[in-house]
Structure formats: structure tokens, C-alpha cells
Structure 1
Amino acid sequence: MSASAPAPQAGLIVAVTALASAVAFLDGTIVNVALPAMSDELGGGLVTQQWTVDAYLLTLSSLILFAGSVSDAFGRLLVLRIGLIGFGIASLGVGLAPEPVTLIIARAVQGAAGAFLVPSSLALITSLLQGTAQSRAIGQWTAWTTGASLFGPLLGGIFVDTLSWRFAFLVNILPIAATFVLLTRLRAADHRAPDARIDVLSAVLCTIGLGGIVFALIEQPNLGWTNPMIWLPLVGGVVLFTAFLLRQRTTRFPILPLEIFRVRNFWTGNLSTFFVYAALSLNGFVVGVYLQQGAGLSATLAGLASLPATVLLIALSSVVGSLAGRFGARLFMTAGPLLMAAGALLLLTVREDFDYWTQVLPSLVVFGLGLALTVSPLTATILGAIGGTRSGIASATNNAVARIAGLVVIAVLAAIVGGSLDLEGFHRAAIVTAALLAVGGVIAFLGIRTERSAETS
């Protein structure tokens, strides 16, 4: 166990970890408003747009747990540096991509590098800080990374309208360089668990299994379920992912220790996370694209459209966190998603004669209020359910669940919107978003309990 970092270094640790992780979260949402411009320049239509999002989410989701074990084996600072270098190189690949295939490959590499940034950042916090300093740092990390996710559409819109969509990715070099500068000022020895091992087979099973399933979901509307190009990857993916789960029960060094799912608040919190974050990904994708292609807004205005939700989240998160600690997270994890569901249904007021102020803004305000009620209690409940030396695993697992949820819902986007993101498809997506959020809220109501002990299941 490494010693606690000196007090003056606590702020630096937060800055390093938040900045390193923020680029991964930022790129996860910045792409939504850039998709129309990318499609116009490179071609490829809806399938390319889906794969631009899913290639990133696929590698990020499937490798994040493996990256946690690599971080334990080789040291958090070393893995963080490798992730930053990989993300910077991949960002250059995205920004300079001449055609869709290169773009999608570079996005996949970005996601892989991002997977190494997130768990190593949180592990660095938990290994160098303790007690209230650690709790405060995790809270600040969550606020900054969530803020980066919500700020992404606005930043992307500004680049698309004033320069090019390419600069939305090339700009990643700046925060990556800043993080390396801050790392030189961090006086901390790297921590490596002496008995840690890397289960490469589990990582391969997880990655290829998820890849086969998602490929089948994306291409099914084009080829049909009876096409061997669909059912073979689907069946193979299910078999390999099942083998991954079975291996976690027998291997000495599991990437995903299945026993943590025996903790009631942990597994119900993650189940709620799956539905809530599937809805968030669907809503972010559909609103970002439709406001440009359907309503005719510029990329900047489409990005500004999400600003009310961002402001409400930042303004209310600390207050909600305190109230959840006083009254219990269950109330907030139930009311928040249900309020977001109501906000999603307000998007049904959008018509051909589009008006942002009366048709979209009320939805975003209600949605933002629900989001503020949800995020902080959800994170605190899941980390608190496990706690101790496994808080990093708990966080990595929850991040993986959230990214997989986004990956799956974007993979079936064509089925949700009916093949085209016109006004009817936009309304269909709003209804599905509301349904997913309602399910997430009901799961939290039925499953979350007020126990704080990790031993309670």
C-alpha cells in the first residue's frame, strides 16, 4: 500500500487524473454534433455514423476492466502515460482521416487508449489519497469528467462551425500535453501490486465477443437476420462473451470478480446504470444529429442546446449529494430517471415548424433537473457498496456498464428510429429514451437499499 500523498499534492493529483480522463469522456460526446459534418465530407451515411460512435465505445467498454488489471500489474502512472500517448496518436488519426475506414479504425484506437486512462486515473486517486481527501478527490473527478461529457457537444459545435470537425479531435493534443507537464510535478512513486497478473485470454474473449454482437446489431437492418454475415458473428459473440463470464469464475486473476455482484446495491445500481446510460447515449446522439439535419440548426447552436442540462448538473450536484447522504440515494435514483423520462417525452412537442424555445428548451430543463438528481447519488451508491480496496474495480465496472449500454443502444439505432432520423424517427427515439429511463428508475426503487456496508447483499 502506497503512502498518502502530501496535502499540497492532493490538488495536483485531482488535476492530473481529471484532465487525463476528461479527454476520453469529452470525445465520447463531442462526436455527436460532429457526425453530420463528418458524414458530409467523408460519406458513408448512417452506418458510418453509427460505427464512428460504436468503434470508440466498443474498445473502451470491452478493455476498461482489462486495463484495470494492467494498471495494477505495471503501475498506474506508467499506464496513464501509455494511455495518453495512445490517445494523442489516435486523435491525430481521427483528425487527419481521409475516408471512413481510417476514421473508424482511429476511433477504435482512441477508445482502447481511453480505456487505459479511466481506471488508472481512479486507481491513482485511491492509492495516493485516503480518508476525506480521497472522497473529495473522487467527487471532483466525477464532476469534471461528467462536465466534460456534457460540454463536448458545445465544443464540437464551435469547431465544426468556425474551423472544421477535424479540429474537435486534433485539439486533444493540448490537454494531453498539459497532463504530461503536470505529471512531471507529481512527487509520487508508482504503485505496483506484487502478485498482480494479466489475464490476456479474458480480455480477448470479452473484446471479440462484444465485437461480434455489436457488428451483428449494426448490420442486421442492412443484411437481415438470416444472412451468415449476421448470425455467425452474433452466435460467435454470444458464445465468446459467455466463455469470458465463465472464465471469471475459475481464473485466479479475474478481470471482473463476479462475487462483487452479490452486493445488492452494487448489482442493482449497475442494472439501473445500464438503462439510464443507454437512454443518455440515445438522447445525446439523436438530439445532436436531429437539431442539425432535421431542424436546420448550426453545429454550435446544436451544441448550445445541451447547455441548460450542463448548468443544472454542475449547479445542483453538490447539493443533491448532500441531500442523498441525508435521506438515502434510493429516492433520488428513482425520482431522477423518472423526471428525465418526463423531459424526454416533452420532445414529442417538436414539430416541422421548429421552435427551440417552446419545443426543446422545456425538455432540456426538466431533463437536466432529473440528471442532477441521478448522477451523484448513483456514483456514490455504487462506489460505497463495495468500498475499500475494491473501489477501483467498482468504478471500472460501472464505467464499463455505462459504455456498453451506450454501445448497444447506438448499435440498434436504425431499429429504434425506423431506419431514418426524420421527425417521426426523432419522436420514436424520445419514447424509447423515456421508457429506458423509467425502467432505470423502477429498478432503483425496487433494488436500492440504505445499507452502507459492503458486506450487506
Structure 2
Amino acid sequence: MCVALVAVVASVSGLNVAQQALAADLDASQSQLLWIINGYTLALAALLMPVGAIGDRWGRKPVLMVGLVGFSLTNLASSFATEPNVLIALRVLAGVSAAMVMPVTLSVITTSFPREEQAKAIGTWAGFAGAGGIIGLFASAAIIDNATWPWVFALPIALAAVSFTLTAAFVPHSVEHTEAGFDIAGSLLSVLAVGGLVLAFHEGPERGWTDALTLAALAAGLLGTLAFVLVELRRDHPLVDVRVFALRGLAAGSVNLFVVFAVMFSLFLVLVQYLQAVLGYSALRAASGLLPMAAIMMPLSTIAPTIAERMGFRRTLVMGMLLLAGGLVLFAALADPTGGYMSVFPAILVLGAGVGLAMSPSTAAITSSLPEEKQGVASALNDTVREMGGAVGIALIGSVLNSAYRSNIEPIAGSLPPQVAKPVASGIGSALAVAGQMGADGKAVVAASRQAFVDGMTPALYLGAAVALAAAIFTALRGPKTAAEAEPRLHLSDHSEMAGAEVHNTVTAPIDADGG
């Protein structure tokens, strides 16, 4: 399952390092480049909920295998694309296939592993979900440094092929048996709600928050969300019983997971730019700078459920959020244009610890709040929270960073000729490109733009820290105290679970712990 998960998550971040090569080879505009990246995540996020429900009803294994085949074929076709619009369409189709893979990887774990092993398995899954983005960045950067951009698609294809083989051999067939009809209205409204909001947060920082497309997407997302809640409250068999959000475990898990991915995805954006534009690292060296975070995050995520059992769910999540907030403040304090990587290394380790400690207990709380026959939907809900958090975090933190940079660079840009001032004020990447053409005069522009970026990071990172601190306070006040309260399904006795089940979930074979 973790192999398939990494293939999907790595595809979110992998193409970021190939943007320059795509622009040159395909003659893609900046808008087209953004859609090559965002088209995938938009389709993935929008379809998670209905596809998760389809997996519950039609069988998780067949949906996963069809998704892996579609994912491989669309990535293979993408490597032969010669037009940017063709690549955009293929990336959207890859996102559709990824939506068939991502929620099922978790629901297979929560329905097939023995209950006493599920917490550890969920922790491992969460660790790979968090580190997959870093793995994608690193592998893609290594490929770009040594080959052409189409080879970036080789990684997800290879991972999907391995996962398909392991799934066919080891993953059991599991399916929900129910006479209730499929919630078509809820499914369509969930696509509108999530798709509209993700599109708005993707387009807002680029087009502006008053742009017609941004406002239309935001309105569609908000109205879709309202309609979804109203429709689901009236249905006997809803896609998601929205009343479950009143459960303290689900509420705390969702808030913390949203914040973790908002901070983590925006941190990737800030840290990679800091390492490349400020410290002058190559794409591969910059991606390597994130590996220590993954090295801390993955093992800690695996043992975090055990820590939550012993210390308490509330204490574990609060500690994770406080580490996250502290790491962001520490990063803001240590970052310096002349300080080098080691100056921010302690902050990177603290941030990895915070993410690892908070991520897997939050995931377990979300999936455990819904019954076994709804684990596809529960997993999709978990993944939707992640994707929404990432989109909001990048939009919010990125907007603050860009605004602060423009404000800081204005005194320098105002003294430059108009044809130079505009790119210098637009962003540090453009500023460095223009400075490289100015000869000796460009050195002052380089120094000023780097300092303006570092100074602009401070309010952006402080904002992220404030959000993490707010999540810690919310969890301290409203979060369940123990893991048993937060994860009711994992702590039920076999007898009570069987007595309370109205719908049976059939698993036809035992699962191998190493399979898939």
C-alpha cells in the first residue's frame, strides 16, 4: 500500500523541479505550467470522496488495481507529450486515476489488518504520505540533473507497476454489502465543494483574489459545501454523515491534520526557494536539504500511535503542534542569506518531529470515527483534509511571503529602470534572472532580493506558527484525552463491534503485512 501511496504523493511534487525544462521544451506559459502542476491535484482532491465510496461498494482491490493501471498509462502518455495543453489534460486524467488509488491504500489497511496492528500500520502509512512529497522532489531533481524531463514520469510508473504486482498477490478482496442506494447527489456536491475550493486557493495567489475565476470557484465551493451539508443531513444513507464532525476525535484529528499539511506544503515552497534562490543550491541539493525532515518524520510517525496510547491522544497532538509552531519560529529566527544550510538545520529537525508526532494519531482518529463498512469514505475524508490543508497553506503562506517580499524590495526596485524594476519586484526568481544580465550592477540587486525574501519569510512563518498554536489550543480544550476516546473503532471489543454492525464488510483472504 505504501508503494502505491508514494507513487501518488510523489507525483504531486515531482514536476515542480521540472518547470524550467517544461517551459523551454514545450514552450509553455506560466499559466500552463501552473495547470500542469495543479490540474493533477485538483482532479485528485475533487474525486476522493465519491471514489472512496465506490471502493467500499465495488471492492477496494479492483478499484485500486484499475486506478494503478490508469495511473501508469496516463504517466506513460505524459512522457510523450509535445504540447502543454495535451500534458495538462493527461495530468488531469492522472489525478482521476490517483483518486482511485490514494483512499483505497488506507482503507485496505483499516479493513484488513487485525485491530491490534492497525495503529502501527496507519502510522507507517501516514509517514509515507508525509515523506512522499520529499521523495518525489528528491528523485525528480536527481532525474532532471541527469536526464530530460520525460524521465520524471518513470518513477511513478515504476512504483505503480510494483504496487500492482504486490496488490494482485497479497491484498485481499474486501467489499461492503448493503442494499442502500449510492448517494449520487452527495457525490456530485462533494466534487463541486472540494473542487471549487481547491481551484480558488490554487488560482487566488496567481490571478488575484478579486479575479472572476477565483471568485466564481470560491462561490461554487462554498455553495457546494453548504448544499452538501444540507443534503447529507436529510439522507438516510449519506455519503458522509456530517454529524460525525461533532465527535471530538474526528474534529481534533481533522483540525490537526489540516494544519500539519498546510504548514508542511507551504514549508516545502518556502524552504526550497530559500535553499535555491537565497543559498544558491541546485535543485537536487535543495531537495536533499529536505531529507533530514523525512528521516525524522517517518519513524516518529510509525511510533506516534504508541506514544499516544501511553501519553494520551490530547497530549501527543498538542506536543506535535507546539513542536510545529516552535520549528517555524526557530526557522524564522535562524534564516540568514549568509548563514548557510546548517543555520536552519535545527529548525528542520524540530519541524520533522512535529509533523511526525501529529500526523498518524490524527489519521487514526479520522478513520476510526467511521464504521468499517465506510472505511473507503473515511480514508477519502482523511485525504481530502490533507489536500485542502495543502492548498490553503500554500495560498495563505505564499500570499503573505510574496506581499512581504514586494514591500521589502520596493526601495531598491523603485530606483531601477522600469524594464528591470518590474521583474525584480515580481519575485526572487525573476530578480536573480535579471540581475544575472546586469553585470557588476547586478550584485546589489542579488543581495537586496535575497535579504527581502528572508525578511518576507518572517511574517509568513509566524503566521504558520500562529495557526499551529491555535490548533494546539483547540486540541487542548476540545480534543479527547485518551487514544481510546479518539479512536473508538480500534478499541472496540470484537463482540461489541459485531453486535453493533448493521452492514457487514467481507474480507476474503488474510493480508500479508508486506503486501501492496
TM range (shorter): 0.7 to 0.9
Decide which of 242, 248, 253 is 1:269's aligned counterpart. Answer: 253
Work out which of the residue numbers 406, 424, 433 in structure 1 matches 2:390.
406
Aligned position for 2:90: 106
1:232 aligns with 2:216: yes
After TM superposition, the structure 1 = structure 2 runs for residues 248-327 of structure 1, keeping only pairs within 5 Å, are 248-327=232-311
For the 8 Å contact 2:9–2:133, the answer to whether it is kept is: yes
1:62 equivalenced with 2:46 (yes/no): yes
1:3 is aligned to none
- CA drift of 1:44 comes to 5.6
CA contact (8 A) 1:333 1:377 kept: yes
The 8 Å contact of residues 79 and 150 in structure 2, kept in 1 or not, is answered as yes
CA deviations on 1:314-369 (whole Å, 9 max, x unpaired) are: 343344432221110212211222222222223333333351122x3122122122
Residue 380 of structure 1 deviates from its aligned partner by: 3.2
Which of 153, 171, 186 aligns to 2:170? It is: 186
Question: What TM-score results when the alignment is normalised by the length of structure 2?
Answer: 0.76
Q: How has the CA–CA distance of structure 1 residues 53 and 198 changed in structure 2, closer, same or farther, with 3 Å as cutoff?
A: farther
* AA partner of residue 67 (structure 1): V
Contact 1:309 1:371 (8 Å CA) reproduced: no
Match of 2:58 among 74, 82, 104: 74
Assess, with a 3 A threshold, how the Cα gap between structure 1 residues 290 and 191 changes in structure 2: closer, same or farther.
same
Q: Which residue of 1 aligns with 2:179?
A: 195
Match among 455, 458, 477 for residue 446 of structure 1: 477
Instruction: Provide the residue aligned with 1:418 in structure 2.
Output: 402
* Identical-residue share of aligned pairs (%): 28
Give the deviation of 1:278 after TM superposition.
0.8
- Residue of structure 1 in register with 2:341 after alignment: 356
Equivalent pairs counted in the alignment come to 439
Pairwise CA RMSD = 3.0
Q: Is 1:290–1:426's contact at 8 Å kept on the other side of the alignment?
A: no
1:341 alignment partner, one of 325, 333, 336: 325
Distance change in 2, residues 1:388/1:291 (3 Å): same
Q: Which moved more, 1:150-159 or 1:296-305?
A: 150-159
Q: Larger Cα Rg: Structure 1 or Structure 2? A: 2
Cα distance in structure 2, aligned partners of 1:357 and 1:154: 19
For residues 313 and 253 of structure 1, what CA distance do their matches in structure 2 show?
A: 38
Aligned to 2:462: 431
Amino acid corresponding to residue 231 of structure 1 in structure 2: L
CA distance in 2, matches of 1:391, 1:189: 14
CA shift for structure 1 position 113: 1.5
Matched, 1:158 2:123: no
The TM-score normalised by the length of structure 1 is 0.85
Distance 2:315 2:52 in 1: 32
- Assess if the C-alpha contact under 8 Å between 1:212 and 1:236 holds in 2: yes
Please give the alpha-carbon distance, in whole angstroms, between the structure 2 residues aligned to 1:368 and 1:190. 35
- In 2, Cα distance between the equivalents of 1:267 and 1:184? 35
Indicate the SS of the match to 1:191: strand
Deviation at 1:61, TM superposition (A): 1.9
- The one-letter amino acid paired with 1:350 is A
Compare 210-219 and 394-403 and name the one that shifted more.
210-219
User: Residues 83-162 of structure 1 correspond to what in structure 2 (within 5 A)?
Assistant: 83-162=67-146
- 3-state SS, counterpart of residue 296 of structure 1: coil
Per-residue CA deviations over 1:224-253 (Å, capped at 9, x if unaligned) read 555544433432332233212222222344
After TM superposition, give the deviation of residue 221 of structure 1 in Å.
Answer: 5.5
For structure 1, the 5+ residue unaligned runs are: 1-16
What aligned pairs does 1:370-381 form with structure 2 within 5 A after superposition? 370-381=354-365
Q: What amino acid is aligned across from residue 255 of structure 1 in structure 2?
A: L
Instruction: Output the CA distance in 2 between the equivalents of 1:347 and 1:368.
Output: 12
How far, CA to CA, are the matches of 2:21 and 2:277 in structure 1?
Answer: 10
Q: Which amino acid aligns with 2:253?
A: G
Alpha carbons of structure 1 residues 236 and 172: separation in structure 2 relative to 1, 3 Å: closer
Contact 1:283–1:429 at 8 Å: present in 2 too? no
- Report what 1:19 is aligned to: 3
Please state how far the C-alpha of 1:305 moved relative to its aligned partner.
Answer: 0.5
Summarize the Cα distance change of 1:413–1:189 in structure 2 as closer, same or farther, 3 Å threshold: closer
Deviation at 1:258, TM superposition (A): 0.8
Aligned AA (2:79): G
Q: Judging changes above 3 Å, is the alpha-carbon distance between structure 1 residues 448 and 242 closer, same or farther for their aligned structure 2 residues?
A: same
The separation in 2 between residues aligned to 1:270 and 1:132, in whole angstroms, is: 23
Structure 1 position 171, deviation (Å): 2.3
1:80 positional shift: 0.7
Q: 1:84 to 1:90 in 2, by over 3 A?
A: same
Q: How far apart, in 2, do the equivalents of 1:187 and 1:378 lie?
A: 25
Shift of 1:154: 1.7
Change (3 A) 1:252 1:293: farther
Change (3 A) 1:54 1:77: same
What does residue 244 of structure 1 align with?
228
Aligned amino acid, residue 393 of structure 1: V
Q: Which deviations, in whole Å up to 9, do the C-alpha atoms of 1:75-118 show, x marking residues without a partner? A: 11110111112211222344334344333333322222212112
What is the aligned partner in structure 1 of residue 497 from structure 2?
A: none
Measure the CA separation in 1 of the matches of 2:294 and 2:357.
13
* Equivalent residue letter for 1:449: P
* 8 Å CA contact 2:52, 2:100 repeated in 1: yes
Partner SS for 2:82: coil
Counterpart of 1:356 in structure 2: which amino acid? Y
State the 1:298 CA deviation.
Answer: 1.1
Q: Is the 8 Å Cα contact of residues 257 and 363 (structure 2) preserved in structure 1?
A: no
